[in-house]
Amino acid sequence: MSRISRLLTLAGGLIASALLAAPAPAQSGADFFKGKTITYIVATSPGGGYDTYGRLVAEYMQRHLPGSTVVVRNMPGAGHMIGANAIFAAKPDGLTIGTFNTGLIYNQLIGQSAARFDLERMSWIGKAANDARVITIAQQSPIMSYRDLAAQKRPVNFAAAGIGSAAYVETVMLTAVLKLPIKLLTGYNGNADMLAMRRGEVVGTISARSTWEPFVRNGYARYIAQIGGDQTDVPQLATLVTDSAAKALIALIQTQCDVSRLTAGPPGIPADRLAALRSAYRMAMEDRELLTKTEKLGLPIEPAYGDTVLQMIKGALQQSPETVALLAEALKKK
* pLDDT higher than threshold 80 for residue 172: yes
Residue 330 burial by Cβ neighbours in a 10 Å radius (0-12, 13-18, 19+) = buried
pLDDT tens for each residue of 68-79 = 999 999 999 888
Q: What is the mean pLDDT of the chain?
A: 90
- CB neighbourhood size of 214 (10 A): 15
Residue 14 pLDDT class (50, 70, 90 cuts): very low
- Amino acid letter, 301: I
| Predicted model pTM | 0.77
Predicted pLDDT of residue 23 = 40
Q: CA 299 to CA 210: how far, in whole Å?
A: 6
Confidence of residue 27 (pLDDT cuts 50, 70, 90): low
Percent of the chain at pLDDT > 90 equals 69
Flag whether pLDDT at 12 surpasses 70.
Answer: no
Q: What is the pLDDT of residue 304?
A: 96
Q: List the one residue out of 163, 220, 171, 222 whose CA is nearest residue 191.
A: 220
Greater model confidence, 319 or 226:
226
| CA-to-CA dists, residue 204 to 46, 85, 157, 275, angstroms | 21, 29, 7, 41
Q: pLDDT tens across 239-298, in order? A: 999 999 899 899 989 988 889 999 999 999 999 999 999 999 999 999 999 999 999 988
Alpha-helical regions (H) of the chain: 3-21, 29-32, 49-63, 81-89, 103-109, 146-150, 166-178, 192-199, 209-217, 244-257, 271-285, 288-297, 306-317, 321-332
**What confidence tens digit (pLDDT) does each residue in 101-154 have?**
888 999 899 998 888 999 999 999 999 999 899 999 999 999 999 999 999 999
In the chain, what are the domains?
29-131+259-322 (3.40.190.150), 133-255 (3.40.190.10)
Query: What does the pLDDT read at residue 128?
Result: 96
Q: Looking at per-residue confidence, does 299 or 272 come out higher?
A: 272
Total residue length of the chain: 334
Determine the Cα–Cα distance for residues 241 and 107; give it in Å rounded to an integer.
25
Q: Quick one: pLDDT at residue 334?
A: 54
Question: What is the pLDDT averaged over residues 204-223?
Answer: 94
C-alpha 297/C-alpha 4 separation (Å) is 71
